[in-house]
Structure 1
Amino acid sequence: MAQPLYYIDRSDLREGKIAQVRAGMRDLAEFVEAREPQLIAYHFYIDESESTMTTVAVHPDSASLELHMELGGPKFREFRELIRMNSIDVYGQASPAAVRQLRQKAEMLGGGTVTFHTEQAGFSRPAGVS
């Protein structure tokens, strides 16, 4: 059974671009929600100083991440003038294609680091189970 992938990226917001970033986040979230029903979660956050954006996504498997990168590519490019990517962290087993796509995304958005983390132990419970 495929294991979920947890994706977290962090970017610095460019000076004076907060309103455009917020509008872009809403647009991208609506775009993804309409086209990627397999995606478990997709959220954007801005820190209290309004200088850093964090994206958190939960994919059911690496194929979902690959699809997200393929469909979202043109939308991600719209952020080039708004942010500078600091880092992408992926928790779980990403395919070679997803690894390549993520490195390309990081380079396009400012050259941030891309780090992959391998699970060592843990478990998940279905929602509502206690």
Structure 2
Amino acid sequence: MTDFIVYIDRSTVHDGEVEELKSAMGELVDFIEDNEPEILAYDVYFSADGDWMTVMHMHADQASLDFHMEVAGPKFPPIGEFIDLEFIDVYGHVSDDLIQRLKDKASELGSGRVSVHELHRGVDRVLDD
């Protein structure tokens, strides 16, 4: 069984804030690229009308997501002025402590819920040579 964790969150963008949010998220992506060498992917998406933002990241294991929350966590609160975080979905097994940290993030940045989805069965070729 794989230890991969996929994290997806979706936020409503406050009216008139999409360009400032794009700039803030660009800075966050640069920070993550420079400071989180173990993260497998960190991607930010905006709807065509700029009303929604979706963030997806992928981790080889829980330690990588824990590290992300520790290192990048202080960068999240300023982004809250541009969004209302609606939900966080986590795919993979994570600890109760990490779930609570994600719930804290969701309530700090919006009114979002956190859902964890355990792997039933799958095939992963992400790290195959």
| TM-score bin, normalised by smaller chain | over 0.9
Identity of matched residues, %: 37
| Unaligned ranges ≥5, structure 2 | none
**Structure 1 residue 80: deviation in Å?**
1.3
Distance of 1:128 and 1:121 partners within structure 2 = 18
Q: Is contact 1:66-1:101 (8 Å) kept?
A: no
Q: Is contact 2:2-2:124 (8 Å) kept?
A: no
Number of aligned residue pairs: 129
TM-score (norm 2): 0.94
1:119 is matched with 119
| Unaligned ranges ≥5, structure 1 | none
Matched, 1:33 2:46: no
Distance of 1:88 and 1:113 partners within structure 2 = 6
What secondary structure does 2:49 align onto?
Answer: coil
Q: Is contact 2:8-2:88 (8 Å) kept?
A: yes
- Deviations 1:55-77 (Å, cap 9, x if unpaired)? 00001111111111111122100
1:104 is matched with 104
Distance of 2:59 and 2:87 partners within structure 1 = 18
TM-score (norm 1): 0.94
What secondary structure does 2:71 align onto?
Answer: helix
2:86 is matched with 86
Distance of 2:56 and 2:16 partners within structure 1 = 23
2:61 is matched with 61
What secondary structure does 2:102 align onto?
Answer: helix
What secondary structure does 2:28 align onto?
Answer: helix
Distance of 1:77 and 1:90 partners within structure 2 = 20
1:21 is matched with 21
Q: Is contact 1:8-1:54 (8 Å) kept?
A: yes
Q: Which runs of 4+ in 1 moved over 6 A?
A: none
